[in-house]
Chains A and B, each alone.
Chain A
């Protein structure tokens, strides 16, 4: 398929793998920030192509995974109301709250719908004037423009029965938080290509300079990731710490100005809690004052929710790259995609789910390495 197969070519992958092996003289730990990259790495078996000296830590860039439990509980509370049509992207429906998930709300009679774009919700709102339509606005900077646009259009068109439950996280503050952690092992980043498509990469330049870490803006196809690794390792070996752009076919340094404008119009930057990691200052989007009427939390009075995370889940350590999924004692035993203890086991882009689906156990890895 055009624009896909070029980036999944076995010969080119082999050539990148050899180039990486040639430049690597010391052990390095790199973190791919985005869950989409983690998924591709595990799905295509990219780590097998890398020299032993290169370790990949899987980052916090899975929007499902970092959404705090209390927000899931709020979603469940709102979705359970008879006057509400609750709309969400598909993969949020299976994330466990304290008691249940949105699928269970649906089975119990709640009107929970999967949509493909937040703008679909406006249509649903217009068609159902006697109902409240709520969209679960989850994601990083990537999904923020479309969510902002839904609120903006709703405001423009006077659609009053629409609101959003906001769970927007920002990538750069999370990268700073990972680097500040005493247990940090990350020496270089593959930054999330699609986040940078929207935001550009000027925000990463001070991080690279101040923290002395190379940051390579990287795409999602196997060859993108291999090239990103090569660029990052080269910088490390040469003692450089710069922001480089591997994903130039999509990312410009200044990003998408139009998308940034709509984000600034509708959202403001706020502190937020990351599931498994805790609160990080200036790391999320909330609705700006002008659009606060579209905030589902205030509209439905679900403000002060607290929920404890299951203590056995080490998702925080996994999303900071300190531990690998299969190193968790609960992995594959008490924690599986059917009965997940934490969100990284739920989402397709969660590191634990990717390991469970594609790697399962070191035993299988050994068997596969020998036989394939």
Chain B
């Protein structure tokens, strides 16, 4: 039973401004951040959650484990370069990989909308099977619920994952140090534009495909080579910019990046110019940043570059003095600016 206190506690989110949940609360920008910091984090407060990592890492009987979960609500269900099934497997595999863990087992929870064609569900399931095989994980438990027609968007999937950490590195935002070199595993923005184009019926001269891919293999190649990794972060919602801002804030460091060093494909840049988007904020599903000790940077780059999912890797910046927790970017023409988190989702501009 709830105690009297539960009623007396005031909601920490400014409910006068946001009496209802907005789409932007799930956009991965500032409102998502606020929701986590002001509602979920204080409510569930504990040291593992406090690490603000892609997953929780902890020890059980001498084994270090990583545990994470994510829900997938993408529309359309199938898009160039992937689908909700491959996304649901790779997304959780990647969150485990970002903890430095070798992914072992996944759960799969399906929320299905009444009337969904069985053939669609079959295609999603087969895609999950293939993605799990490629990432070398097994889907070992699951759940199915069906909601009334109109109460869902075909298929929603939740996956949780467990992985094992088999090295002595401490990979987390708190381990980031002044002087660290920042590597990016490839070109950014493709997933965001691919989804946007499929959803809105926009067509570009050539098809832009999602970068959806499992990253655990590439991460373990770096670890096995003895690279001194301090932090890893995959660039999903909110893109490169939000990932770096979050790390800068948790680690209390000044992150400096160089716009020219950040690979963005021509077609993605073109789409961004048309829509008024900044590729720094576009979602990716197969890209990550690695903060490594600078003497290891060149070696890490060559390992990434020779891996199929790190082909376009580059060194994009470094960690400077820790006076202020901000991300600064040196622009193409040599000026400088701050990189901030977005308030909500990027919105197509007027002109």
Contacts and interface: CB of A to CB of B under 8 A. Distances in A.
Chains A and B come from one and the same complex: yes
Interface of A: 1, 4, 8-10, 13-14, 36, 42-49, 63-64, 89-94, 103-104, 106-108, 114, 116, 138-140, 142-143, 194, 222-223, 337-339, 348-349, 356-360, 363-364, 367-369, 371-372
A338 B343 contact: yes
A140 B333 CA distance: 29
B340 A367 contact: no
A48 B273 CA distance: 24
A103 B23 contact: yes
Interface in B1-36: 14, 17, 20-24, 30-31, 34
Contacts of A116: 200, 202, 275, 348
B350 A91 contact: yes
Interface in B320-351: 320-321, 323-324, 326, 328, 330-338, 340, 343-344, 347-351
B254 interface: yes
Contacts of B30: 337-338
B334 A49 contact: yes
Nearest to A357: B340
Contact of A45 (B22, B34, B331): B331
B328 to A, nearest CB: 5
Contacts of A114: 347-348
B266 interface: yes
A364 B336 CA distance: 11
B129 interface: no
A44 B332 contact: yes
B338 A8 contact: no
A304 B340 CA distance: 40
B347 to A, nearest CB: 3
A43 B337 contact: yes
A371 B256 contact: yes
A360 B266 CA distance: 30
A112 to B, nearest CB: 11
Contacts of B331: 43-45, 222
Nearest to B21: A107
Contacts of A222: 331-333
Interface string B271-296: 00101100000000000000000000
Contacts of A223: 333
Contacts of B178: none
A107 B20 CA distance: 7
A371 B328 contact: yes
A94 B342 CA distance: 13
A368 B23 contact: no
Nearest to B348: A90
A91 B348 contact: yes
B324 A367 contact: yes
Contacts of A194: 351
Contacts of A47: 335
A94 B347 contact: yes
A164 B266 CA distance: 36
Contacts of A36: 351
Given A1-B269, A94-B343, A94-B347, A107 B23 contact: yes
A92 B340 CA distance: 21
A153 B17 CA distance: 40
A1 B266 contact: yes
Contacts of B333: 8-10, 13, 44-46, 49, 222-223
A372 B326 contact: no
Given A13-B333, A103-B23, A372-B330, A358 B338 contact: yes
9 contacts: A13-B334, A42-B337, A44-B335, A91-B348, A108-B20, A358-B340, A368-B337, A371-B321, A372-B256
A177 to B, nearest CB: 21
B21 A337 contact: no
B270 interface: yes
Given A143-B351, A371-B328, A104 B20 contact: yes
A139 B73 CA distance: 34
A31 B89 CA distance: 52
B351 A372 contact: no
Contacts of A64: 350
B320 to A, nearest CB: 6
A13 B321 CA distance: 29
A371 to B, nearest CB: 6
B348 A4 contact: no
A202 B350 CA distance: 25
A46 B335 contact: yes
Contact of B335 (A1, A48, A90): A48
Contacts of B273: 1, 4
A90 B269 contact: no
B350 A138 contact: yes
Contact of B338 (A48, A348, A359, A369): A359
A63 B20 contact: no
A8 B332 contact: yes
B276 A348 contact: yes
Contacts of B340: 356-358, 360
B336 A369 contact: yes
B336 A45 contact: yes
A283 B351 CA distance: 19
Given A1-B269, A107-B23, A364-B324, A348 B332 contact: no
Nearest to A138: B350
Contacts of A8: 332-333
Contacts of B270: 1
A371 B20 CA distance: 42
B336 A48 contact: yes
A14 B335 CA distance: 10
Given A43-B331, A44-B332, A338-B30, A358 B337 contact: yes
Contacts of B269: 1, 4
Contacts of B320: 371
A348 B340 CA distance: 13
Contacts of B350: 63-64, 89, 91-92, 138-139, 143
Given A9-B333, A140-B351, A358-B337, 14 more contacts: A10-B333, A10-B334, A44-B332, A46-B333, A63-B350, A91-B347, A103-B24, A106-B22, A116-B202, A143-B350, A364-B338, A368-B336, A371-B256, A371-B321
